[in-house]
Amino acid sequence: MTKRDNSLQRRFGPTALVTGASDGIGRAFALQLAEQGFNLILVARRRTALRELARDLGVRFGTEVAVIPIDLSAPDAVATVLEETKGAQIGLVIAAAGFGSVGPFLHQDMASEINMVDLNCRSVVELSHGFGQRMAQQGRGGIVLFGSLVGFNGAPLSATYAATKGFVQSFAEGIAAEMRPLGVQVLSVAPGPVGTGFAVRAGMQMGRAATPDTVARSALAALGRRGTVRPGALAKVLGWSLAMLPRWGRVRVMGVIMKGMSGKDTAGTPAPGKDTAVSRG
């Protein structure tokens, strides 16, 4: 039997909170953190999926797991999470809950786009503020936020989603510098395509997707060592290549990539409602 590596748990504290834990990347984090000896608080909307995961982690790793089924895009959701976790000594927060839309901006459903901003940006700011304050008081902690390869410039056919990820990237860089002297490490994870429900739900082709496991492993290895990590070979290669272009060139290339992955076009698009896809991811 291989020896458990508990070094992260010793560095950050006994309990980790993971949002978006019912699926995809958040779920992969939950598994790896349980394996490393963390107790867990799992947050997402689907109560049954969270409970099943909690039971599984308890059986496999003896992990203490609490679940908070909640819609984090709702105005008072993060306040509820902060209230419900008051007594817990949370050393690590993984804010993986998020979703995106694909298709021409003018054909998107406005309520859904605003909901995306609420979840991907507002809830992330609130979580970082609430838990950041607690961690600063403890003198240690880690916060993992999710940017994306598409968050370093505008992305046609995924304009709002890319902008939410650009917001998170910039926000993470700013608070990382502020919180580091307080003992709190902040990491932005900026993957390229990852093989989760995202691609399936959006009807996108993601040929060379990284696995959620790779994303979680790279992020946990980078936490406290770097400010941004780009997990997966494709994210690295595309990131380096795009970085050599001027910003307008990156936007153009991103448009070609998004067109190829989504099968949608910015011009001569079909009628609204026929070509929009909303995807968590």
Ligand X SMILES: NC(=O)c1ccc[n+]([C@@H]2O[C@H](COP(=O)([O-])OP(=O)(O)OC[C@H]3O[C@@H](n4cnc5c(N)ncnc54)[C@H](OP(=O)(O)O)[C@@H]3O)[C@@H](O)[C@H]2O)c1
The per-type count for the chain, helices as H runs and strands as E runs, is 11, 9
Does residue 167 bind ligand X (CB under 6 A)? Answer: no
Q: From 218, 173, 219, 200, select the one nearest 261 (Cα to Cα).
A: 200
Angle at 191 between CA 208 and CA 175, to 5 degrees: 175
Smallest distance from ligand X to CB 74, Å: 8
Please report whether residue 44 would count as binding ligand X according to CB under 6 A: yes
Measured CA to CA, the distance from residue 23 to residue 3 in angstroms comes to: 27
13 belongs to the binding site for ligand X (CB under 6 A): no
Is the distance from CB of 262 to CB of 204 less than 8 angstroms?
Answer: yes
Q: Does 175 bind ligand X (CB under 6 A)?
A: no
Total of residues contacting ligand X (CB under 6 A): 30
**Region from 55-63, 186-194, 218-226, 240-248 binding ligand X, contact rule CB under 6 A:** 186-194
Q: How far apart are CA 82 and CA 20, in angstroms?
A: 16
Toward ligand X, which CB reaches closer, 23 or 275? 23
Query: With respect to ligand X, which residue has the nearer C-beta, 13 or 120?
Result: 120
* HSE of 93, CA atoms in CB hemisphere, 13 A: 30
Q: Does 146 bind ligand X (CB under 6 A)?
A: yes
Distance of CA 9 to the CA centre of its chain: 20
Binding flag, residue 96, ligand X (CB under 6 A)? yes
Q: Which of residues 182 and 253 has its CB atom nearest to ligand X in the complex?
A: 253
Cα–Cα nearest to 180, from 238, 228, 139: 139
Query: Which residue's CB is nearer to ligand X, number 73 or number 153?
Result: 73
* Residue 193 makes contact with ligand X by CB under 6 A: yes
Q: What residue ranges bind ligand X (CB under 6 A)? A: 20-26, 44-46, 49, 71-73, 96-100, 119, 146, 148, 191, 193-194, 196-198, 280-281
